[in-house]
Amino acid sequence: MNIDYGKDNKERIPYEHYLAEFRKLNPQEAAQRTGIPWHEETQEFEMHMMQKRFLIKWPECTIRKADPEEHGYGAMEDGIPPKIMVMRYLTRGVSSTGSGNFLTYREVPHGEVYFRQFQGRCMMRLAFGYGSNLSLFHAQMEKIGAKKLDMGDAAYEFEFLDKYFVRFILWAGDDEFPPSSQILFSDNFPLSFETEDLAVVGDISINTLKKI
């Protein structure tokens, strides 16, 4: 996967920082801590992101689909941000299972501080991208194998990373009110990710829907 720093230079420094951490990783320890399979013979981790399996090469963090015959766009093919998420999880994350409860962005630690940015960057983008076209939302969510929920006017749950789940909920707009949305995170997210990471989760997820 080629990285085009020219598109967004501000990603270069965090990318290089996490890549340096990733290179120092003990892959067997990371596999035990996160529950992510490690293939010693190929020196690769095997992870899911948005219903598809990918292989992450250590120590260079190149990424390929686990099934070379699989067609269609995958979330880890979205440039630098997914690679940073993967490296952050493998270097700092833990295997965990949510209790079944979901959190709003405001409910995660320090979420109130960053909520306005998250609202504009993710919630409004989701609402105005699909609130007037629920049929497209249904079609794209079903393409990634998301689970339909009886919430709002349209809602789905999907596994973003192994055991870490996200819910997208939409309310359609009308003549009086604009469309709106809610994004929920399984309550194990704060065990492995910082609050700012959740905006990247939203970005990657919405980008993937638009590109599939």
Residue 131 lies in a domain: yes
207 within domain boundaries: yes
Encoded tokens for 138:
């249904």
* Distance from C-alpha of 141 to C-alpha of 129, rounded to nearest angstrom: 13
Angstrom distance (rounded) from CA 196 to CA 82: 14
Residue 197's domain spans which residues? 102-211
Length of the chain: 212
Domain stop point among 73, 92, 111: 92
Same domain, 151 and 199: yes
**Same-domain check for residues 14 and 70:** yes
- How does DSSP assign 43-76, residue by residue? TEEEEEETTEEEEEETTT--EEESSTT--S--GG
Mark whether 83 and 160 lie in a shared domain: no
Q: What is the pLDDT of residue 2?
A: 46
| 41 and 75, same domain (yes or no) | yes
Query: Is 83 in the same domain as 108?
Result: no
At 122-157, the pLDDT tens digits run 999 999 999 999 999 999 999 999 999 999 999 999
The answer to whether residue 50 is domain-embedded is yes
Q: Does 175 share its domain with 134?
A: yes
Q: Is residue 97 part of a domain?
A: no
Mean pLDDT, consecutive 10-residue segments, the chain of 212 residues?
49 90 97 98 97 95 90 84 95 96 97 95 97 95 95 97 97 90 98 95 95 84
Say how far apart CA 166 and CA 127 lie, in whole Å: 16
Note whether 67 and 119 are same-domain residues: no
Let me know whether 81 and 118 are in one domain: no
Domain count, the chain: 2
Predicted pLDDT of residue 73: 81
Q: Is residue 58 part of a domain?
A: yes
88 with 119, same domain: the answer is no
Q: In this predicted structure, what is the pLDDT of residue 206?
A: 96
Per the domain annotation, does 11 fall within a domain? Answer: yes
Which of 60, 92, 124 finishes a domain? 92
166 plus 190 within the same structural domain: yes
pLDDT for residue 55: 97
Considering the domain architecture, whether residues 88 and 107 belong to the same structural domain is answered as no
Identify whether residues 50 and 116 lie together within a single domain: no
Radius of gyration from C-alpha coordinates of the chain: 17
14 lies in some domain: yes
Which one of 92, 116, 131 terminates a domain? Answer: 92
For 14-35, the pLDDT digits (tens) are: 899 999 999 999 999 999 999 9
Q: E strands of the chain, at which residues?
A: 38-39, 44-49, 52-57, 63-65, 102-103, 147-148, 154-161, 164-171, 180-186
